[in-house]
Homo-oligomer: A and B are copies of this chain.
Amino acid sequence: MTKVKSRTVFVPPRRGRGTVDDPLSASGVRFTPQRRQVYEVLLSKRDHPTAEEVYLRAKSRMPEISLATVYNCLDTLVRASLVKQVNLNRTAARFCPNMNHHSHFHCDQCAEVFDIDGDAGTRRTAGRLPRGFKLRHLEMSLHGLCPTCAAKRQ
Residue of B at shortest CB range from A149?
A: B134
Residue A34 at the chain B interface, CB threshold 8 Å: no
Report how far A90 CA is from B111 CA in the complex, Å: 19
Residue A44 at the chain B interface, CB threshold 8 Å: no
Report how far A36 CA is from B142 CA in the complex, Å: 30
Asked, given contacts A119-B127, A120-B127, whether A138 binds B132 with beta carbons under 8 Å apart, the answer is no
Residue A80 at the chain B interface, CB threshold 8 Å: no
Q: Which residues of B are found within 8 Å of A131, using beta-carbon distances?
A: 147
Contact of A105 among B85, B90, B128, B133 (CB under 8 A): B133
Residue A40 at the chain B interface, CB threshold 8 Å: no
Report how far A114 CA is from B129 CA in the complex, Å: 11
A90 touches B90 (CB 8 A): no
Asked, given contacts A90-B93, A126-B142, whether A147 binds B132 with beta carbons under 8 Å apart, the answer is yes
Report how far A114 CA is from B135 CA in the complex, Å: 13
Nearest chain B CB to A120's CB is how many angstroms away? 4
Asked, given contacts A125-B140, A140-B140, A141-B138, whether A133 binds B120 with beta carbons under 8 Å apart, the answer is no
Using CB atoms and an 8 Å cutoff, list the residues of chain A in contact with chain B.
1-2, 52, 85, 87-93, 103, 105, 108, 111, 114, 116, 118-120, 125-148, 150-151
- A-B contacts, 23 of them at CB < 8 A, read A2-B91, A87-B88, A90-B93, A103-B126, A108-B136, A114-B133, A116-B126, A116-B127, A116-B129, A116-B133, A119-B127, A120-B126, A120-B127, A125-B125, A125-B127, A132-B148, A132-B150, A133-B144, A133-B146, A137-B144, A138-B141, A139-B143, A141-B141
